[in-house]
Structure 1
Amino acid sequence: MSQTVFCRKYQQELEALPFPPLPGAKGQEIQATVSKRAWEEWQALQTRLINEKHLNMLDPEAREYLMEQLERFLDNRETDQAEGYVPPER
C-alpha cells in the first residue's frame, strides 16, 4: 500500500511522493506536504514554462523564477502560463 500525505495544494490526503523530488530541506518539505498528483501537475507546468520562455536552467535567475512559480502553484495562486496553451479536455 502506498503512503499518503495531506497535500497542501489539494487540502486532502493523497498518494505521497516516493522520495524527495529536490535535494536538501526543500525536497524533504515537498515530500512531506505535496502529493504525487500535485507534483506531476507541477512538472508538466514547469516543462511548459521552461520551453515557452526558453529558460536556461544553468541561470540562477531562471531557477529562482521556477521556484517562485512552484510556490505559487502549490499555494493555488495564479502562475504564469505558456502562451497559447490549451489544457486537454477531460
Structure 2
Amino acid sequence: MMATVFCRKYQQELEALPFPPLPGAKGQEIQQTVSKQAWDEWQAQQTRLINEKHLSLLDPESRAYLMEQMERFFDNRDTDQATGYVPPTP
C-alpha cells in the first residue's frame, strides 16, 4: 500500500516521499508535510534556479537562498523564476 501525506502545497492527501530528502529535522519535516509530486516539482524548479543564476551549492548564501525559495514554493508564495525558462506546451 502506498504511503500518503497531507501535502502543504496541494492541500490534499498525496503520495509521500519514501525517505527524508534532506538530513536532520528539516528532512523529517519535509517528508511529513510535502508530497512526492511537490518535491519532484521543486527539484525541477531548483535545478532551473541553480542553472540560471549560476549558484554554487558550496556557497552558504546560495544554499540559504534555495532554502528560502523552497519554503516559498511549498507555501504557494511567489518564488523567483528562471527568466529564460519557457514551460513545455502540451
TM-score, with structure 2 as normaliser? 0.97
Following the alignment from structure 2 to structure 1, what is the Cα–Cα distance between the partners of residues 47 and 19? 20
| Runs of 5+ consecutive residues of structure 1 not aligned to the other structure | none
Following the alignment from structure 2 to structure 1, what is the Cα–Cα distance between the partners of residues 20 and 27? 5
| SS of equivalent to 1:49 | helix
| Corresponding residue for residue 74 of structure 2 | 74
| Corresponding residue for residue 48 of structure 1 | 48
| Corresponding residue for residue 4 of structure 1 | 4
| Corresponding residue for residue 19 of structure 1 | 19
* Shift in Å, 1:87: 1.1
RMSD, aligned α-carbons: 0.6
Aligned residue pairs, count: 90
Identity %: 82
Amino acid at match of 2:64: E
Following the alignment from structure 1 to structure 2, what is the Cα–Cα distance between the partners of residues 89 and 63? 31
| Runs of 5+ consecutive residues of structure 2 not aligned to the other structure | none
Amino acid at match of 1:61: E
TM-score, with structure 1 as normaliser? 0.97
